[in-house]
Amino acid sequence: MEIKFSFEEREIQKSVRKFVKNDLLPICREVDETGFLPDRVRDRLLSMGLLRVSFPEAWGGVGGTFTGLVIALKQLSYATLVPAWMLFENFMLAYPLLTYGSDALKSAYLGPLLSLERIGAFAFTEADTGSDPIQLKTTAQKVSGGWLINGSKRFITHSSICDHLILFAKTGDSVSAFLVQSDREGYRAGKRESFIHARGFDNGDLYLEDYMAPDTHLIGRVGQGFDILLRTETLGKIAFCALFVGIAERALDLAVTYASTRCHRGKPIGARFQMTQVKLARMLTKTEAMKAYLFHVCALVDQGKDVFMEAAALKLFVAGEIKEITSDAMEIHGAYGLSMEYDIAGLYQKAISAQVVMGSLDIQRVIVAKGALSLLP
Ligand SMILES: Cc1cc2nc3c(=O)[nH]c(=O)nc-3n(C[C@H](O)[C@H](O)[C@H](O)COP(=O)(O)OP(=O)(O)OC[C@H]3O[C@@H](n4cnc5c(N)ncnc54)[C@H](O)[C@@H]3O)c2cc1C
């Protein structure tokens, strides 16, 4: 299926595809395992300036489209999630800074975030909730000259390696968003998680102990945190889905290669067994549908449309399909599919995370159903 991209978007696609083939695919297992890119590859990624794509020139971007960024994320995650996740986390801080931050915050923080020289993070989830802002326990108390923040966060990607993060805290009855710096007194990273889908990832607890955020580090207005959260997560969900479309394309390619080379009675299983063909056909159809849906929603974003419901529907769709696509690919590989020697096992593990990260599926169902019933505000 052909999706109509602009000249600039096609150029991004071409250059990232080349980077993936030459630099990432040969080392993708090692990168998945450690969570880090070798310096040479990291430098190359930084030199491509991919996160600049969807940000305005006035703030260090190149004034391209959101579609352009999503193309890059999809291509990168064909090989490994690590570089895509670097871009994604920085986006989750850079976007609310651009949209709600003061000019002073933008000029101080956006440049190094967009160039990936600084590492960003997004801290909403706490031990008791990753879904409900009302239940947040971290508080920001107004004091002379700023805000005293106390509490803890859980499952925060880049909690121990980030330089800056956006952190959501209760300000009385409402929620507000703050720019937090990890090198300031009162910030402490805690226990690190080890997930089945991403062993090398930096993700864990963080603690705020009398952390003093100056007044100038409030992002948006007091009480605007919920709006900032929803708007950032809406684009975040779309960017997040791009990672799984990349994984789907890889799973399909691996399955096709395996089905074309594994022989039974002298004939490749793809040619010999109709049941293998059924799985390949199902995988291809679902992958193409995911891709079309992803770039349809991206096009709406670039047209300035509100995509709150569409982003939830996309996540619902992608999270369901990717599980089946990777499961089919694994089944085609027989016992080799379960072996960590083959890349397909890693893709199957990564697929599971689509249903939890960036909002549970039940919440997406609620949003979509409310949209269908015209009950969204
Ligand atoms: C790899 C990974 C990386 C992550 N990175 C980050 C990060 O960088 N920053 C961050 O802030 N968080 C991060 N998270 C946390 C993640 O976003 C949350 O785990 C997720 O939003 C779910 O929250 P929870 O685990 O608290 O589940 P809960 O909110 O406790 O939900 C539990 C169950 O109840 C259901 N439920 C909850 N509320 C409702 C409702 N209103 N209606 C219907 N059903 C409901 C859910 O669907 C789910 O099935 C990460 C998680 C993982 C696994």
Residue 110 belongs to domain with CATH number: 1.10.540.10
Q: Is 71 left (phi over 0), alpha (psi -120 to 50) or beta?
A: alpha
Same domain, 178 and 208: yes
pLDDT (tens digit per residue) in 231-241: 999 999 999 99
Q: Whose CA is nearest to atom 51 of ligand 1?
A: 357
Q: Could you tell me how far CA 335 lies from the centroid of its own chain?
A: 31
CATH number of residue 280's parent domain? 1.20.140.10
- Distance, in Å, from the CA atom of 368 to the CA atom of 320, rounded to the nearest integer, reads 15
* Model confidence pLDDT, tens digit, residues 264-279: 999 999 999 999 999 9
Question: Domain boundary residue among 68, 83, 114?
Answer: 114
Residue 62 and residue 48 in contact, taking contact as beta carbons nearer than 8 Å? no
Looking at the structure, tell me whether residues 165 and 276 fall in a common domain. Answer: no
Ligand 1: distance of its center to the CA of 203 in Å? 14
Between the CA of 361 and the centroid of ligand 1 the distance, in Å, is: 9
Phi and psi, residue 78, nearest 5°: -60, -35
Please check whether residues 28 and 80 belong to one and the same domain. Answer: yes
Asked whether residue 295 falls in the same domain as residue 352, the answer is yes
Ligand 1 atom nearest the C-alpha of 153 is 11
Q: Is the residue at 44 inside a domain? A: yes
CATH of the domain at 181: 2.40.110.10
Please indicate whether residue 3 or residue 147 has the higher confidence score (pLDDT).
147
Ligand 1 atom with minimal separation from the 365 CA: 43
The closest of 54, 73, 95, 4 to 296, measured between CA atoms, is: 4
| Residue among 95, 135, 155 to mutate when testing ligand 1 (max atoms within 8 A of CB) | 155
- Same-domain check for residues 245 and 198: no
Pocket test for ligand 1, best of 81, 131, 136 (most atoms within 8 A of CB): 131
Q: Please say if the pLDDT value at position 1 is more than 70.
A: no
DSSP state string for 73-97: HHHHHTT-HHHHHHHHHHHHHHHHH
Instruction: Say if residue 236 is in the same domain as residue 327.
Output: yes
Nearest residue (by CA) to ligand 1, atom 12, is 125
260 with 359, same domain?
A: yes
The reply to whether 377 falls in a domain is no
User: Lowest mean pLDDT: which of 96-105, 177-186, 339-348?
Assistant: 339-348
Q: Which of 97, 114, 131 is the last residue of a domain?
A: 114
Taking the C-alpha atoms of residue 74 and residue 3, their distance in angstroms, rounded to an integer, is 14
Q: What is the structure's pLDDT at 201?
A: 83
Q: What's the pLDDT at 194?
A: 83
Give the 3-state secondary structure of residue 212.
strand
Residue 195 confidence class, pLDDT cut points 50, 70, 90: confident
Above 90 in pLDDT, residue 245?
Answer: yes
Q: What pLDDT is recorded for position 186?
A: 98
Mean pLDDT, rounded, for 14-37: 95
Query: What residue ranges in 100-173 does DSSP mark as E strands?
Result: 120-123, 139-143, 146-157, 164-171
| Contact assessment for residue 183 and residue 102, using Cβ atoms and an 8 Å cutoff | no
328 within some domain: yes
The verdict on residue 2 lying in a domain is no
* Tens digit of each residue's pLDDT (9 = 90 or more) over 166-177: 999 999 999 999
Of residues 341 and 150, more confidence is placed in 150
pLDDT at 196: 79
Instruction: Say what the pLDDT of residue 76 is.
Output: 98
Q: Percent of the chain beyond pLDDT 70?
A: 99
* pLDDT band for position 199 (cuts 50, 70, 90): confident
Per-residue pLDDT, averaged over 86-94, amounts to 97
Is there a domain that residue 155 lies in? yes
Among residues 223, 252, 268, the one where a domain terminates is 223
For the segment 298-324, the average pLDDT, to the nearest whole number, is 98
Same domain, 213 and 258: no
> CA-CA distance, 361 to 364, in Å (whole number)?
5
State which ligand 1 atom lies nearest to the alpha carbon of 126.
26
Whether 364 and 235 share a structural domain: yes
pTM score: 0.96
Contact between 143 and 183 under an 8 Å Cβ cutoff? The reply is no
- When pLDDT is averaged across residues 49-72 and rounded to a whole number, the result is 97
The percent of residues in the chain predicted with pLDDT above 90, rounded, is 93
Q: Which domain holds residue 106?
A: 7-114
pLDDT at 198 over 80: no
For ligand 1, atom 40: residue with the closest CA: 363
Q: How far, in Å, from the CA of 236 to the mean position of ligand 1?
A: 14
Residue 46 to residue 117: CA distance in whole angstroms: 8
- Which ligand 1 atom is nearest residue 125's CA? 11
Total count of domains within the chain: 3
Task: Provide mean pLDDT across the span 302-319.
Answer: 98
State the distance from the centre of ligand 1 to the C-alpha of 74, rounded, in angstroms.
Answer: 23
In a domain, 282, yes or no: yes
Ligand 1 atom closest to the CA of 195, numbered from 1? 1
- Say yes or no to pLDDT of 2 above 80: no
* Between 196 and 221, the higher pLDDT residue: 221
- 362 touches ligand 1 (CB under 6 Å): yes
Mutate to test the pocket of ligand 1, among 360, 363, 370 (most ligand atoms within 8 A of CB): 360
Q: 167 with 273, same domain? A: no
C-beta of 366 in contact with ligand 1 (< 6 A): yes
Task: Report if residue 164 sits inside a domain.
Answer: yes
Residues 103 and 125 in one domain: no
232 touches ligand 1 (CB under 6 Å): no
Residue 102 lies in a domain: yes
CA distances from 11 to 32, 82, 291 (A): 27, 22, 18
Do 266 and 339 sit in the same domain of this protein?
Answer: yes
